[in-house]
Chains A and B, each alone.
Chain A
Amino acid sequence: MKKVVCVAIIGKGNNPLFIQEFATGLTDENKLKLHYIVHCSLDIIEDKPGNTKKLSSELYLGLLYPTEDYKVYGYITNSKIKFFVVVLDTSDIKDSDFKIFFKRLQNLYINTTSNPFYKPNTKIESTKFLQEVINLAPSL
């Protein structure tokens, strides 16, 4: 059973750059709920005390938002790009695994956005990136 339900990247202005759901058989309603959950998680990130510091070496934010069905984990880069992973509530994953996962995800993001044809702060539409994220997701 897949643990990762959704991976999301949110830009500087809290606009979504990339949201991908993984669970099979998701209805539109569930998808919508995931989007809402990711959006709500932004509240928590804004509240995190570490957020106010200029630069923090620790980018991983830990568990942000537990709901009945899901848990949301977050990661914020120094350029205020936020990464979220929504996992099933039942899954039990170590923080260190999350750190590795997020680091890889950030690398993928950096590689994709370094493309000169990518306009910063817009939706990532690269199919290659999508495929890479899909490949990465089961590693958690």
Chain B
Amino acid sequence: MNNNNNNNIYQQQIQALQQYKDIKHSIQSWITPKVLILSSPSVGKLFQKTNNSSLHEVFAQYVMEKKKANFKIGESSYDLQDFKVNFINSKSLDPQENPNLFKDIGNTVDSLSTDEYCNNFKLRTKQDIPYFQKICPEPTPWFDKYRHNFIRASHYLETETFAHPLACIIAVSSEDQNPIGMLVKMFDPAKPPQIFQQYNIDPNIPKIYILVHPETSHGESDKRLSEMKNTFGPTVSYILRVNTKEDYCGLHFDPSTAHLNPLTLIINDILQKHIPNYIERSMIDLSENIATNRKSFFSKMKVSFRIGNKKNEKEVEQDATQSNQVSIEQSMRKMADQYFLLQDYEQALSNYKSLVKEYNSDKSPNYFASVNEMIGICNFMLNKESESYLELAYNNYQKAGLNHCSVRVAFLHGELLKRKSNYKALSDLYKQTAEKDIDPFCSAVLWEQAGFYLMHSPWLLFRKACMRIVMAGDKYSEAGKRKHALRCYSFSYSVYEGRDWNFIDDHLHLSLVRYSFFQGHTSDAILFVNKLLEKNCQSFQKQNSIIREFLFISKSYTKDNYIGELPIPSILNDSIQVGLNDYSSEASKSIWRDMEDGFKKEAQIISKPQLQGFDLWRKDLFVEAEKERTAVVEELITVEVEIKNPLQIPLQFNRVHLVASFKDTTEGGTQMEESNMSPLDDQALEKMQAGETPFIVEPVDLLLGPSETKKLLFSIQPTRPGLLVIKGLGLCMCGVIWGKREFKLKQKRLNKTKAHRESVMYEPNLSLTFRVTSPMPRLEVQFLEFAQSMFHGELRQAKLLLKNCSNKMGLKNVRIRLTHPSMVCFGTSDQDASLLESLDSSVLLNISLKANEQVTIPFWVRAIQIGRHQLGCLVYYESEAGNSDLKYRLARCQTEFEVKPSIRVATFSQQSSSDLNAYILGIEVDNSMIGESTAFNLAQFSAISKFWKIQPLSYQDQVPNKSIVTIKSNQFTNLFFRICPNLETSPTQQQQQDKLSITNISFDPSLSMFDSSSFPVYNFLELEKLLINYQLSQQQQQQQLQQQNQPHHHTTSGSSLSLSPNSQQNYDHPNHLDLVLFWECNSNSGSSLNLLSGNRIGTLNFPNILFLPTHYSDSALSTPWGSWKSTTSPSGKIITLIDPNLKIQLPLRFQLHSDLDVNHSFQQNPLCIVPLKLQLMNCSFVHQLNLTVECLLPHENVFDHSSTTSQYFWTGSTKTTIELKPQEIVNLPLYVCFNQPGVYNINRFKLSVKLSESSKDIYSTVQHLITIKDT
């Protein structure tokens, strides 16, 4: 029902609009008899009071219907079917009131204005225009009505006599003091109102006198009426009883009861009696007047024709007859106008045509224009050619400066052009008119029409059309029609958008910002402010004014001064960093990640599923979704953001704070989302400080200079468990407007399922989402007394402070991981030491802390790598109360220190040539620090091995000269030691295998010995070995990977008898020992910085020094003799102390013993037989050796020509098979025989050793010279 009604109303509206389309209708309602209504102030008040109307509006209701009227002019009679009059008041006649009049006309079409021409249409190219015209044939529905109202209301009293009133209604109230006197005074024909005199309006028009009598009034109405009838005549006196309580004083027009209404009577009298009578009479007067003057008129015309060139004369003549002439012309005009009013266009036209000859365009362009206009209109009404007349009229109105008349002509002419589809000319005509100084709304309407008609033109000048629509927007804004203006701007904007027309863009953006705001489209406004400021190409003055305007507009058009998303400042979203106690920040993530993962594994919180086999194909399905991070109640979450001012002017922001939303997710919670989006004014601040909010933020004041970027740290403190999401920043711009800036985090594009791929979906970024959990203890960790600078190998003690910051909760299960695990040993002695088993495990400290307790843990640091280091310490702890959300927490601390180089050591080892079971060890100590005054004193040298001990070789019991163990800058020293088996421990005794033999050699007997086997020296040695093993295994893995990548590259070391290379037991043989060199120094440099000034000690470890039996004759078994190997590794790179080829490949040593000088009398015995002893030793502690000793024939003498041969012969048994048990030494007797004196080299024997698969032949390469002397 309602819908139907609406439809009906709409239909009616359409019909009403339709009638405005007919311009003839507009002309008729414009050129129609006018009835002036003059009312006394009390009457005005009466109508004003009841319905804010006036008497003429009440009258106007009664002429909507068709009224008939009869006129008799001379012989012809006019029977008008639809005779209308316009009721006007004196105000609308007054030209002074014109601007207000036009404004009122503009306001009549307000209800028709639209937000946009067409929904969802964007004009981008000219190809869009036909589509636009199709979907939106009539973009400006208000135009016709406006045109109608404009034409209807416009009048130019000086020339247009049809605008003069033909009758006058004079109304007084019976409440007035002297109504009769007043009626007389209000219109005295002798002294008519000023406007009548000014425009030569006939004062002798019929006058109708009305006494308005309110029913409540006590005045005697009947008596007054009869008085009036006596004074003015009975036909023109009326009484109008009104009911002040009803709308329109009870005079509202109702078609059904209209015939009973007193007004109907009055109006019918006016239309059918008074006006016809007047017109008939005035026509007679006019024709008489014209007739009497015609003669002189024609004679004058003839004169002027004859003396056409003598202008001066003519002007004088004209001036003389001016007064007379005006009246004739005016009479003619008036007569023509009255014919027009009687709708006799033929008669009117002929009159106008004869009149037009009287005027000329130079002298009186206004009259000339007006008559031409009327000729045009008459022609138009008669459907004849009228354009040329209208053009003339238009040009002459322009000449006369009558812009509004020219607008009217333009409207009429425009309609003609439209009918001819001459859109280009029409558009240009409107544009030309609009540029004149006219009412801004009218100008805007014209610009708009000019724009749209241009689109109809075949050339499709859409850019020009849009420019005109922009101009229309400018004019609309001048007229204060914001809705119209916004529509124009937003329609044209699409043509310029994103095409770099900065200047135009700025203009449009600025306008769009303003009018979007005015229309309440705040989000649009902000969008355009953003665009406006995006390019940043304005001058700073302009930006200043933009900002001011923005602040002003937003202040006056927003609620609570809260605007929502602000356009500035810009937030560098990539720079957002969250600081959370339990998580490492992005920047330092690489340091902590491995350690964190380690703890995760230990705590058995597996984050990633273990994939095997076919799962690997569908890896993406098993990737665990990222979870939000956990924060703890009452602990700060910090967010670091970079904020930039994109403008060239400084900006001030107050109370910048984090904006977040909070949701209570606990069971029985409210599930309500709370946020602090609203302004953080004093009230909100108080509320927050009182703890009523679920989180507390810290506001910061901020001043950003032009183009300045600042890094700011914000914090938020949750006060209840739940889900907290940080949204962005809230701020007060320039102390005026509250708003927020949201963080826009990078999101991963999803690409897993079909749905993901088909549409654009993003994974939520959870880096600003936090699950707030119930209170937990919080541990703070700090390094104390940590030396900042150390020498390589130096040992230092430091402390770690653990402090439980919680007031309520205790913590337990403290574990520690370090970035440099091999550098730190926790504890003070063997008893309380907490040791690492492997490098990737954590140190468990047996500590639990109650609330507010703290503990200091001593530890040793040993500098093993030169350079600057960041020592990171990650401490794991659990709450004593336990927490399901957060099983454990982590605390971090870091310190930085420097390791400077100290002494460097090289070692060499070699088998002893004199003792089968002894080896030589040489160490070369080098202080290569040039320019440093530090001198290092070697304090002690320790060897740690299961089976071996060392003895000094370079000197006897004591160091002969202290200087050889004090190494100054750029000095070096050599020390030699003998490695011999430790007889106390024998490898055969299985039960004692684990026991270590330690030899300590002190270089300064006055000092007490360091215990190399105890904490921390031994532990550091073990750690260093662990590190080396770890690095070795890493290397091997890499090599394996490389080999896998190069499958064709086989190892060519086929001759090697080595065991498989990846065996960890590289040195399963016992021929190795670990050495520790202790040094001391008294460093002055930087002592002020060091807490422990004075003696500093350090140890240099050389683990796994090998000493092997060598067999030179076989390249596979030989080791180079006497090569020094650098054993300290200041850079931390591992030095492969164990060459994989340097296995104990053949654990056999042999030596030949005999007398070297033999005196023999060859005369007594021609053969000299010398006994030799071949010592054979099995170096292995485990394996048994089977070997055959075979004596070989000596070489032939080199000198063939020599008469004598110097040969020796083996005698006795020359081939023996021997079985050697582990560590067994066997003396094999051999005999050699000489027949001449001389020097012989006895080395011609071969040892064939049976190995597991093959046998190996060994030839002696050592000279064994025996000198035989003849006595």
Contacts and interface: CB of A to CB of B under 8 A. Distances in A.
Q: Do A and B come from one complex?
A: yes
Interface of A: 13-16, 19, 31-32, 35-36, 39-40, 42-44, 46-47, 123
Contacts of B501: 15-16, 35, 39
Nearest to B502: A16
Given A13-B499, A14-B499, A15-B499, A43 B461 contact: yes
A35 B503 CA distance: 7
B461 A40 contact: yes
Contact of B504 (A13, A14, A32): A32
Nearest to B126: A46
Interface stretch (B463-471, B664-672, B1083-1091): B463-471
Interface in B948-996: none
Contacts of A123: 500
Contact of A36 (B461, B462, B504): B504
Given A32-B507, A46-B126, A47-B459, A40 B500 contact: no
B472 to A, nearest CB: 13
B464 A40 contact: yes
B462 A43 contact: yes
Contacts of B126: 46
Contacts of B464: 40, 43
Contacts of A32: 503-504, 507
Contacts of A47: 459-461
Given A43-B461, A43-B462, A36 B500 contact: no
B463 A42 contact: yes
A16 B505 CA distance: 12
Interface string B504-519: 1001000000000000
A14 B463 CA distance: 11
A69 B464 CA distance: 16
Contacts of A14: 499
Contact of B467 (A16, A39, A44): A39
A36 B473 CA distance: 14
Contacts of B499: 13-16
Contacts of A36: 467, 470, 504
B504 A35 contact: yes
A14 B126 CA distance: 13
The DSSP consensus for interface residues of chain B is helix
B500 A16 contact: yes
B500 A15 contact: yes
Contacts of A40: 461, 463-464, 467
A19 B501 CA distance: 10
Nearest to B503: A35
A46 to B, nearest CB: 7
Pairs A-B, 5 closest by C-beta atoms: A43-B461, A15-B500, A40-B464, A43-B463, A35-B503
Contacts of B460: 43, 47
Given A13-B499, A40-B461, 7 more contacts: A15-B501, A16-B499, A16-B501, A16-B502, A36-B504, A39-B463, A42-B463
Contacts of B461: 40, 43-44, 47
Contacts of B502: 16
Nearest to A17: B500
5 contacts: A14-B499, A32-B507, A35-B503, A36-B470, A43-B459
B718 to A, nearest CB: 49
Contacts of A39: 463, 467, 496, 501, 504
A33 to B, nearest CB: 9
Interface residues of B, number: 17
A32 B462 CA distance: 18
A35 B1176 CA distance: 107
Nearest to A44: B461
Given A40-B463, A43-B459, A43-B461, A31 B503 contact: yes
A74 to B, nearest CB: 14
A43 B468 CA distance: 14
A42 B500 CA distance: 15
A66 to B, nearest CB: 12
A18 B117 CA distance: 33
A36 B469 CA distance: 12
Nearest to A19: B503
User: Which of B463, B470, B496 has its CB near the most chain A CB atoms (within 10 A)?
Assistant: B463
Which of A32, A36, A44 has the most chain B CB atoms closer than 10 A to its own CB?
A: A36
Nearest to B432: A68
Contacts of B503: 19, 31-32, 35
Q: Kindly name the residue among B462, B501, B504 whose own CB sees the greatest number of chain A CB atoms within 10 A.
A: B501
A40 B470 CA distance: 12
Interface string B461-498: 11110010010000000000000000000000000100
Of B126, B459, B462, B467, most A-chain CB atoms within 10 Å: B467
Nearest to A37: B467
Contacts of B496: 39
Nearest to A36: B467
Nearest to B467: A36
Nearest to B464: A40
A35 B499 CA distance: 13
Nearest to B506: A32
B387 to A, nearest CB: 23
A29 to B, nearest CB: 9
Contacts of B463: 39-40, 42-43
A70 B501 CA distance: 20
Nearest to A47: B459
A31 B462 CA distance: 21
A19 B460 CA distance: 25
Instruction: Specify which of B459, B464, B470, B504 lies most central, judged by the most chain A CB atoms within 10 Å of its CB.
Output: B464
Contacts of A44: 461
A47 B504 CA distance: 23
Nearest to B537: A123
A15 B502 CA distance: 10
Contacts of B459: 43, 47
B458 to A, nearest CB: 10
B502 to A, nearest CB: 8
Nearest to B542: A28
Nearest to A13: B499
Contacts of A19: 503
A107 to B, nearest CB: 24
Nearest to B498: A15
A13 B463 CA distance: 14
A16 B498 CA distance: 11
A39 B459 CA distance: 16
A32 B474 CA distance: 13
A4 B273 CA distance: 70
A44 B772 CA distance: 66
B473 to A, nearest CB: 12
B124 to A, nearest CB: 11
Contacts of A46: 126
A13 B462 CA distance: 16
Nearest to A15: B500
Contacts of B470: 36
Contacts of B504: 32, 35-36, 39
B430 to A, nearest CB: 15
Interface in B978-1027: none
B514 to A, nearest CB: 16
Contacts of A16: 499-502
Nearest to A46: B126
A47 B463 CA distance: 12
Interface in B348-372: none
Interface string B167-190: 000000000000000000000000
A40 B507 CA distance: 16
Contacts of A15: 499-501
A16 B459 CA distance: 23
Nearest to B454: A43
Contacts of B467: 36, 39-40
A13 B459 CA distance: 20
A44 B504 CA distance: 19
A31 B507 CA distance: 11
A31 B504 CA distance: 10
A14 B461 CA distance: 14
